[in-house]
Amino acid sequence: MARTTKSKTKKPAFCVDSTISYTDIAKAGSAVNFAINALNYENGKPKPAILGRLAIGQGTLNWYPRGKSKNYISIKWSDLEKVLKKGTGQEE
């Protein structure tokens, strides 16, 4: 009879924390924020390392890299649509 081996469960590599306020969502300048962290395992315990923050607003998607709040990337929704269509081969 063949012997089966147990597969180890894979530890998660990333952690995402989000913040949203229902009262602020309709206001101009409000956004849903996601803090994106990589998980480094030391002594079997996860230790988060900040990668950056993703802010999704009414008009743009913004990426703020770790520690550089002035050097952020801002993409309008219409421009993002063009990039996604080109990347998936749905270009007109």
Question: Does residue 84 or residue 29 have the better pLDDT?
Answer: 84
51-57 long-range Cβ contacts below 8 angstroms, 24+ apart: 51/14, 55/31, 56/31, 56/32, 57/29, 57/30, 57/31, 57/32
Of the pLDDT bands very low, low, confident and very high (cuts 50, 70, 90), residue 6 is low
Q: Locate 17 and state its tokens.
A: 């924390």
Q: Enter the pTM of the model.
A: 0.64
Provide CB contacts within 8 A for 66, sequence distance 6+.
50, 51, 52
Sign, Cα dihedral of 21, 29, 51, 12: positive
Residue 89 predicted with pLDDT over 80: yes
